Structure 1
């Protein structure tokens, strides 16, 4: 009976969308004869809701369970001082919150977007990132070739719902942060200036800015060891390093 219990719990753990009847049926297919009520009782005793409603995996469940293998991307629009409209394509890793700015262009053609996808795949391979899913919206700027490039690399495209930005909320929050902390406070002269500002913000975002979603760590750096010495706290010497003429501020201990 213990082996049956372990098997039931394994099936429940590996298939969170299954109810007890689905697990019972799988056991029967495996030749394991056990009453459906027994499966129900095993799940209940283990603190797992045996009802089928448990299965209805929510979008939040999917994001949490797949965070380590999940990417998201989006286009961000901005306007230069001359009135030219530029489009920025960026990708974020859900687990680490690391952002990658793939480029900026005035004309996001299918060729340009597909090449950005190829560059992303190469960057992920160089960083040994094993992504399985990429969330994107249904923007017409994403050509079929964009999806094909990622599919060939083993990355499945997950489309967000129509007018449902919360399905891509982590990427949307980065877009808001980029606007609020950079673009709304910077006069962009041209495409070259935009790319320079974005690279500075990308490095700041990944290496210095704390993120509540990852316990205030930084995407590329864990939190340091807490300072416990009262004397050291009393004599803190914190220096400010400014980027982009003071648009971005970084604070560090004096050397």
Structure 2
């Protein structure tokens, strides 16, 4: 270092004031060029700041024209901090941290209850923990990325489905074009879908989906679900005019609560809509439908395949009503049966019987 700076110091020492001004101006421009090759922000260590303070404070306000590594305001802050000795590094976590066990308890209460800061404090007080403030609870949750109480406790549609999924069913209609002796006609079908298991029950089709037909199909659905351990307790549906007062009364008489969805909210019955899209794309779109009997056969076949053989991501890639099979390590192709469905349109695979 001394060999590099010695000629420069000797030159400055022997120069006049006019020459010194020229040297400084040159060094300022050279420094600007060098700084342009460096990152926008340069972080200095404590020792480096002390060196800059040692030579910069004696310059007074002239330092504002010379300093470029930091802003003049930052240099002034260094001077103020230096008067009180070496500043202590700030603790980004805010003072002395609470024991890990207490932090885990706060997080557990927040996640399992959805409580806000004040109610979490109340739960801790009941457990005998007094030396913790509301701000500390807030800091702990903030560090873990847990939102404040109002954002977590506000109920969502997904949370509602989780609570009621086993007994909550969706209901919807869809139509299919069919070739009949009277020309092309629309045939209507009614779908009931369990929102947790994704099991589907699909009715017979009709050209005239009046109130009597809707009630008849609803009674058939109720009859199919009567012997179950977990029976339907609520059915959600849109505000289609085919859901008449007779339909509502039919459900109530069987102890099932009808729940009309808000206007213009198709996503709330999205699982039922998704099944309708699936049966249309994977089955009905592959055929020209010839009349009611043909359509009913295709729907019956696909619904049976869907419930017992078609995997579903929401069911951990298992069919809606199939139990989890025993896990095995090896299975040769010779031990697997290929089962065709709907005339070979789709296939499923099963183990051969032992």
- Same fold at TM > 0.5: yes
Q: Aligned pair in 2 of structure 1 residues 100, 249: CA closer, same or farther (>3 Å)?
A: same
Q: Are the counterparts in 1 of residues 166 and 230 from structure 2 also a CA contact under 8 Å?
A: no
More strand by share: 1
Match of 2:287 in 1: 186
Q: How far has the Cα of 1:74 moved from its partner? A: 0.6
Q: How far has the Cα of 1:210 moved from its partner? A: 0.7
Match of 1:80 in 2: 178
Q: How far has the Cα of 1:134 moved from its partner? A: 1.1
Match of 1:111 in 2: 212
Q: Are the counterparts in 1 of residues 211 and 244 from structure 2 also a CA contact under 8 Å?
A: yes
Q: Are the counterparts in 2 of residues 90 and 103 from structure 1 also a CA contact under 8 Å?
A: no
Q: Are the counterparts in 2 of residues 216 and 223 from structure 1 also a CA contact under 8 Å?
A: no
Do structure 1's residue 67 and structure 2's residue 172 form an aligned pair? no
Separation in 1 of the partners of 2:337 and 2:166? Answer: 34
1:122 to 220, 223, 227: 223
Q: How far has the Cα of 1:119 moved from its partner? A: 1.9
Secondary structure (helix, strand or coil) at the match of 1:245 reads coil
**1:184-217: CA deviations, max 9, x gaps?**
0112111011111111111101111111111011
Do structure 1's residue 169 and structure 2's residue 267 form an aligned pair? no
Q: How far has the Cα of 1:236 moved from its partner? A: 4.1
Q: How far has the Cα of 1:49 moved from its partner? A: 6.9
Q: Are the counterparts in 2 of residues 241 and 251 from structure 1 also a CA contact under 8 Å?
A: yes
Match of 2:51 in 1: none
Q: Unmatched 5+ residue regions in structure 2?
A: 1-108, 121-132
Separation in 1 of the partners of 2:203 and 2:116? Answer: 42
**1:149-180: CA deviations, max 9, x gaps?**
11232322222333322111111110011001
Separation in 2 of the partners of 1:53 and 1:245? Answer: 51
Q: Aligned pair in 2 of structure 1 residues 147, 253: CA closer, same or farther (>3 Å)?
A: same
Q: Unmatched 5+ residue regions in structure 1?
A: 1-8, 25-36
Q: How far has the Cα of 1:78 moved from its partner? A: 0.1
Match of 1:4 in 2: none
Q: Are the counterparts in 1 of residues 199 and 307 from structure 2 also a CA contact under 8 Å?
A: yes
Do structure 1's residue 92 and structure 2's residue 229 form an aligned pair? no
Match of 2:349 in 1: 251
Q: How far has the Cα of 1:19 moved from its partner? A: 6.5
Number of paired residues? 228
Q: Which moved more, 1:145-154 or 1:235-244?
A: 235-244
Secondary structure (helix, strand or coil) at the match of 2:176 reads strand
Match of 1:228 in 2: 329
Match of 1:54 in 2: 152
Q: Are the counterparts in 2 of residues 209 and 218 from structure 1 also a CA contact under 8 Å?
A: yes
Q: What's the C-alpha RMSD, in Å, of the aligned pairs?
A: 3.1
Moved over 6 A (4+): 18-21, 47-50
Q: How far has the Cα of 1:60 moved from its partner? A: 1.4
Separation in 2 of the partners of 1:51 and 1:221? Answer: 39
Secondary structure (helix, strand or coil) at the match of 1:108 reads coil
Q: How far has the Cα of 1:128 moved from its partner? A: 3.4
Q: Are the counterparts in 2 of residues 236 and 253 from structure 1 also a CA contact under 8 Å?
A: no
Separation in 1 of the partners of 2:348 and 2:315? Answer: 19
Higher Cα Rg: structure 1 or 2? 2
1:217 to 298, 318, 325: 318
Secondary structure (helix, strand or coil) at the match of 1:122 reads helix
TM-score (structure 1 length as normaliser): 0.77
